[in-house]
Amino acid sequence: MPTLDERIEYPWLPFLVRGGNHTVPGPCSNPRMAKKKVVRRRKKTSPKSLGLSPEETGSVSDPGISTLMEQVRSDGGEPLTAYREPIGGTPVLLAALPIDRVEPTPFQRDPSQPHVKRLMDVIEKLGRFLDPIIAIREHDGYWTPNGNHRLQALRKLGARTVVALLLPDPEVAFKILALNTEKAHNLKEKSLETIRMERALADQSGGRLEREFAFEFDQPAFLTLGAAYDKRPRLSGGAYQSVLRRIEDFLDERLPKALAERERRASKLLAIDDEVARIVQKLKARGFTSPYLRPFVVARINPIRFSTSTEFDVDDVLDRMQRGATKFNVEKIKQDDVVRAGGAPEEE
């Protein structure tokens, strides 16, 4: 039966026609096998037991902040105030920065122009800007991992200055998926940003393991999907995410080697997608017009959709999907099968 996550994300999965191989893979020592997920429950905390007091928040004694203040001034900006972030106690500098010295991190998604326009309209109506961006100093300028839409809106309005929460820690630039909440990411955006981050980190921190960046990458499936989206921008990644989430895990490999493995897995996924596209075209030639054809086909060739196992070999599952797609017989599919599947249409 489908997992709870699959039923939530793809409520139509239980209605797919049953069939195929129901074999549950056994344990395997293969390093490409996804490890069993460990669920950790959050501990209960007492009220007012976390972080700093207001007085402690305002007390900053950090040489790094003093250096950052001087750098801001030399860049033509103005330090406004410094404080300690009240949860972790890390120093933060509130600064007014020249807007032409600030850029988004290079691995970010492209800004949504409708969202930028909405922000411009709101800022114009209010006549003020009250939502500082987050920034780090990079080379002779600044990067913002959270605030690109606000930055673009201010630029188009002709602003000279952008107010930023400036952090001394450059690693925050790679925590973009957790930080960027001003506009929800879709699957393609998350995946592309994640693989771009891995490439940047492979250049900067090539000796570290992929698993060390689990927080920054959020989900291992995003890495494989991101590499696939890079090669095929119109990939319907949502059709494959449910499978990948069950079989993927972060790799205990150094980043350059992990990146090569993600590219290899993406190539296998795209080979499956080629077969799926061929099947969809055959179904359309037979008169099937449902927007759910692709997710329906992917679900039918998914060899683990009824498995209760929590450990899978990635290559084994992808190879079985490839074989299932190659042997797919469109003559056996009825219109009612697709109608019962329902669900979300494939992505644009």
Token match 């393609």: residue? 188
What's the angle, vertex CA 236, arms to CA 230 and CA 241, rounded to 5? 90
Residue 46 lies in a domain: no
What confidence score (pLDDT) does residue 39 get? 58
Same domain for 247 and 161: no
Together in a domain, 99 and 206:
no
Q: How many CB atoms lie within 10 A of CB 339?
A: 13
What size, in residues, is the chain?
348
Q: Mean pLDDT, to the nearest integer, of 45-66?
A: 88
Hey, what amino acid is at 191? S
What is the domain-level CATH number for residue 159?
Answer: 3.90.1530.10
Instruction: Note the pLDDT tens digit of each residue in 225-237.
Output: 999 999 999 999 9
Q: List Cα–Cα distances, 17 to 174, 288, 297, 335, in angstroms.
A: 42, 16, 11, 12
Considering the domain boundaries, does residue 50 fall inside one?
no
- Specify the pLDDT at position 30: 56
Residue 177 lies in a domain: no
Residue 45 identity (one-letter amino acid): T
Number of domains forming the structure of the chain: 2
* 157 plus 299 within the same structural domain: no
Residues 208 and 302 in one domain: yes
pLDDT surpasses 50 at 120: yes
Identify the band that residue 24 occupies on the pLDDT scale cut at 50, 70 and 90.
very low
Does residue 311 sit in the same domain as residue 228? yes
Tell me the per-residue pLDDT of 295-311, one tens digit each, with 9 for 90 and over: 999 999 999 999 999 89
Q: Which of 167, 198, 217 is the last residue in one of the domains?
A: 167
pLDDT at 150: 93
Q: 68 and 139 share a domain? A: yes
- 93 and 211 fall within a common domain: no
Assess whether pLDDT exceeds 80 at residue 267: yes
Tell me, what's the pLDDT at 29? Answer: 46
- Three-state SS for 168? coil
161/190 same-domain check: no
Statement to judge: residues 134 and 209 lie in one domain: no
The model's pTM: 0.58
Q: How confident is the model over 51-68, as a mean pLDDT? A: 90
Residues with Cβ within 8 Å of residue 84, at least 6 apart in sequence:
52, 56, 57, 58, 59, 60, 90, 91, 92
Answer whether residue 31 is part of any domain: no
Residue 44 lies in a domain: no
Cα-Cα end-to-end distance for the chain: 29
Q: Is residue 57 part of a domain?
A: no
Same domain membership, residue 141 and residue 284 = no
Which residue segment(s) compose the domain that 256 sits in? 4-19+185-341
- Residues 92 and 84: their CA atoms lie apart, in Å, by 6
Do 202 and 292 belong to one domain?
yes
Q: What is the mean pLDDT of the chain?
A: 84
pLDDT in tens, 161-180: 999 999 988 887 777 656 65
Q: Are 192 and 159 in contact (CB under 8 A)?
A: no
> Would you place residue 34 in the very low, low, confident or very high pLDDT band (cuts 50, 70, 90)?
low
Query: Which band of pLDDT confidence, cut at 50, 70 and 90, is reported for residue 45?
Result: confident
Q: Is residue 29 part of a domain?
A: no
Residues 214, 298 within the same domain: yes
**Residue 294, token pair as written in the block:** 């692709």
d(CA 101, CA 94): 16
248 part of a folded domain: yes
pLDDT, position 180: 58
At residue 107, the pLDDT reads 77
In terms of Cα–Cα distance, which of 109, 103, 112 is closest to 144?
Answer: 103
Contacts of 5 (CB under 8 A, 6+ apart): 242, 245
